[in-house]
Every structure is written in structure tokens, then in C-alpha cells.
Amino acid sequence: MEECPFGSYRLQSLAVWHVLSYAVFAALHPLLVPAYDHFRTGIQGKRDKSFIKYDEADTSQASAAQLLTIPPYALASVLTVSVAVFSERIKRRAVVIVGCAIVAIIGYIILLTNENPTKRPGVSYVGTFFAAAGIYPAVALALSWPANNVSGQTKRATANALQITIGNLGAVIGTQLYRPKTSPRYVLGHSVALGYLCANILVTLTLLFVLRRDNRKRDEAAARGDLYDGEYLGDEDPRWRYAY
């Protein structure tokens, strides 16, 4: 069997870093989902905690406040599917995730800069559309990206399990960010979510750089004639190309 031109120690080190990076990457997105869901109390929550005031005795007003939560989620549902299809057609993940994060960042900037959400609820409501439109499509791509890049049943199962485990830790934090005493602006929750989105962009770009570099090195090795036709080595195989 022809020796693999890529050192096994180097590839194993890359594989460990690779899997752990997805796990950290996953923790950034699940935090945002429950955080956003908790923020819904700013729309449909109790009257004294909501940035949209209504008379609790008037059931029509209460129902209208709850109905206002539907349009952002409807938009997010459509975009989650359409963005995933678009990402698959162009065969790119990182740039699409970064684009989604930027959309969500715009939403949280709108929410943070609205100094009086009670008097200007429409501004905050627009911010929730941007936040939902950016968060949910990115989460779908984040959860599927490791399945594209980790090969070998055991390794892929481990990577996915690690991703979900660490991701759930982010969810624990996310549910604690929007505290009643910070209403109606929720500066703490919005600020942490904004920071996580920026961290998400950094991690995504780091993964993009490393994956592209590794693909390029494998292409260069193949161009030099350093071909490996031995036993399949999963994503450590020089013939494997990462999706980025």
C-alpha cells in the first residue's frame, strides 16, 4: 500500500481541532435561539414587561400582541429553507453563515439603539425581523456543516454528539439573558447576543481559512503527483475535500 503523503500525526491533530471547532461553533448558535425565544416576552409577555403595551382585560389586544410574534417566525421559516437551498447550490457554507450573522447583527443593533421601546415599539419590532432572519437560517447550516466535513461513521457520530452537547450549554446561558428587571430594552440580553454573533463570524472565518488551506495543500500534492490510492481514510484521506 502506498504511504499517505500527509503525515498521520498532522492529520489527526487537524481532525481533533476540526471537530472541536465545530463544537465551539455550535455553541454560538444554540445560545441565540433560546435567547431570541425568551425575548418574545417583549412582544407577547405580561403587559408591564412588554415593549408593546396592551390592556390585559381586553382579550382582543392581548390576542393581537400574541399574533405579532407570528410574522418574524414565518419569515425565518421561509428563509431557513431558501437559504439552505441557496447554500447547497453554490456549494458554500461559511460565506452564507457570515451573511446571516450580519443580518442578525443589524437586528440587534436596531434593538439596542432604540432607547425607548415602549414609545417606539415599531422600531424594536423591525429589529426582531432582522434577528430572526439571520439567526435561524444560520443555525440550520451550522448543524449540518459537520455532517458534510467529518467522514467515518464513528467520527461523524462523535462530532455530531459533541456539537449538540456543547451547543446545549449555550442554550442554558441563552435562557438566562433576558431578565425581567432589564425590560423593556433588555440591554444585557441584546448585548450578549450581539457579541456572540461577532464571535460566530470570527469562528466561521477561521474555519473557512483552515479548510481552504487544507484543500489547497491536498490539491497541490495531487498536482505534484503525490497520489494516494490506498485504503480510504475518511476526511483524513488526501482525496477528501472539505466543504467550506
For the domain that residue 138 is a member of, what is the CATH number? 1.20.1250.20
What pTM was estimated for this model as a whole? 0.82
Q: What pLDDT was estimated at residue 47?
A: 43
Q: Give yes or no for residue 202 having a pLDDT over 70.
A: yes
In a domain, 90, yes or no: yes
- The answer to the question of residue 31 being in a domain is yes
Total domain count, the chain: 1
**More reliable by pLDDT, 224 or 28:** 224
* Residue 23 falls inside a structural domain: yes
Residue range 40-62, pLDDT digits in tens: 544 444 444 445 555 555 556 66
**CA–CA gap between residue 122 and residue 36 (Å, rounded):** 17
Of the given ranges (19-28, 70-79, 205-214), which has the lowest mean pLDDT? Answer: 19-28
Tell me which residue has cell 450549554: 169
Position 148 in a domain: yes
Ranking 80-84, 97-101, 176-180 by mean pLDDT, the lowest is 176-180
Residue 121 lies in a domain: yes
Query: What length is written for the chain?
Result: 244
pLDDT in the model for residue 181 = 84
Query: What was the pLDDT predicted at 92?
Result: 93
- pLDDT for the residue numbered 232: 73
**pLDDT for residue 25:** 62
Residue 56 lies in a domain: no
Helices (H), the chain: 8-39, 41-44, 59-67, 70-90, 94-113, 121-149, 153-174, 187-223
Instruction: From 151, 157, 209, 159, select the one nearest 24 (Cα to Cα).
Output: 159
- Assigned domain for 244 exists: no
Integer Cα distance of 121 and 114 in angstroms: 9
* pLDDT tens column, 139-176: 888 888 877 887 777 777 777 777 777 777 777 777 78
Q: What is the mean pLDDT of residues 77-97?
A: 94
Q: What is the dihedral of CA 208, 243, 98, 172, to 10 degrees?
A: -100
Per the CB < 8 A criterion, the answer to whether 14 and 229 are in contact is no
Residue 75 has pLDDT above 70, yes or no: yes
Residue 235, domain member (yes or no): no
State the residue range of the domain holding 151: 15-39+70-222
